[in-house]
Amino acid sequence: MRTDPDLAADAARGSEAAFAELVRRHQGRVRGMSRRLTAASGDADDIAQATFLTAWQKIGTYAGGTFAAWISTICYREFLQVRRRQRPEIEFDETAEIIPFDRTMADTGDKMDLSRALDKLPEAQRICVTLCVAASLSHREAAEATGWPLGTIKSHVTRGVAALRKHLAADQVA
Amino acid sequence: MRDEDTYADLTALFTAEDREQEAKPFVDQVMGRIRAQALMRKLLLAVSGLGGALLAASQLPKLLADSVGLDASLTTSILQAQEDVSALASANPLWLGIAAIVGLSLAAVATMERT
């Protein structure tokens, strides 16, 4: 299987097929990240699409390293742009998630628990947990993506993970 | 123990959730938009090129008349037509504004889009 950097190099030379493969590989991560950052799936896919369109335009600037971290950084910046435009309108919307009928109740329950628990976190913790825990960026990569100090990232992740576990445990008890 | 190891179970939960979301229509949508943008860019470049070619062609009769001695009546009629067009545009500045906006838009798109 071809590596992400190989595909990125081909995409930089204009190969749409190579870029389509990158989109296929990373769409889950980027769409999930968008949804978690916005806490409203209405904007999430727009942000995810904008992320890949920007990535296509800037693929020549990808200088190796983890492609996941590179695309996650773009996704975070797209989220910031949308948030700057819509900040007053962002609020938690319980009806935003459309649940397909073919999922089992257990799957749906886990997913809702996870989403609900994440949405309960303060924004900075939610961002850090989304980047480091959900998108698997290292703390250093998350610090580069957000521009926040490394210590701040570590602190938000530690507190966010603890709070997330607490909320998940509370949901399971209830 | 690495910090990341303390939440590997949560990462696995998120990854499973992400995997459920993977869908071909999303890839098709993204690639469709990329192709549409590329098409639009080519179209705009073609329009820009055509505009430039027309502009160059409009100067050709005078150039040819000076250098190779193009028939004077032909040169005169072309120059007259050019003057009529510019007089028409001057009479209604809206056309000049529209031309400027179109030109600037073409330049902006051609500059911003990747090759």
Residue A38 pLDDT greater than 70, yes or no: yes
* pLDDT value at residue A133: 92
CATH T-level fold of A104-174 = Arc Repressor Mutant, subunit A (1.10.10)
Domain hosting B13: range is: 3-112
Average the pLDDT over each of A81-90, A97-106, A136-145, B106-115 and give the range with the smallest value: A97-106
Task: Kindly indicate the confidence band of residue A80, based on its pLDDT and cuts at 50, 70 and 90.
Answer: very high
Q: How far is CA A80 from CA A133, B17, B49, in A?
A: 19, 23, 37
Q: What is the CATH number of domain A1-90?
A: 1.10.1740.10
Mean pLDDT of A78-102: 58
ipTM: 0.72
Q: What is the pLDDT of residues B93-103, one digit of tens each?
A: 777 778 788 87
Q: Compute the nearest-CA separation of B66 from chain A (Å).
A: 45
Residue A140 in tokens? 């250093």
Task: Give the whole-angstrom CA distance, residue B31 versus residue A53.
Answer: 9
Residue tagged 């590329």 (tokens): B38
Mean pLDDT of A85-92: 56
Residue A120 pLDDT greater than 60, yes or no: yes
Q: What is the pLDDT of residues B59-88, one digit of tens each?
A: 777 676 666 666 677 777 777 877 887 787
* pLDDT value at residue B4: 61
Residues of A within 8 A of B22 (CB-CB) are 24, 27-28
- Please count the other Cβ atoms lying within 10 Å of the Cβ belonging to residue A94: 8
Cβ-proximal residues to A10 (8 Å cutoff; 6+ apart), any chain:
A17, A18
- Mapped onto helix, strand or coil, the DSSP state of residue B61 is helix
* pLDDT value at residue A87: 62
What residue type is A164 in one-letter code? L
Task: Name the residue with higher pLDDT: B86 or A68.
Answer: A68
Task: Give the whole-angstrom CA distance, residue A56 versus residue B37.
Answer: 11
* pLDDT value at residue B65: 67
By C-alpha distance, the chain A residue nearest B10 is A133
Task: Name the residue with higher pLDDT: B1 or A23.
Answer: A23
Residues of A within 8 A of B20 (CB-CB) are 28, 103, 107, 111
**Chain B interface test: which of A34, A51, A52 (most B C-beta within 10 Å):** A52
* pLDDT value at residue A106: 45
Q: What is the pLDDT of residues B23-56, one digit of tens each?
A: 778 899 999 999 998 888 888 888 888 888 887 7
* pLDDT value at residue B112: 64
* pLDDT value at residue A105: 40
Question: For residues A67, A69, A71 and A76, what is the CA-based torsion angle, rounded to 10 degrees?
Answer: 180
Put simply, the answer to whether B26 touches A16 (Cβ < 8 Å) is no
Per-domain boundaries in chain A: 1-90, 104-174
* pLDDT value at residue A98: 39
Residue A144 pLDDT greater than 70, yes or no: yes
Number of domains in chain B: 1
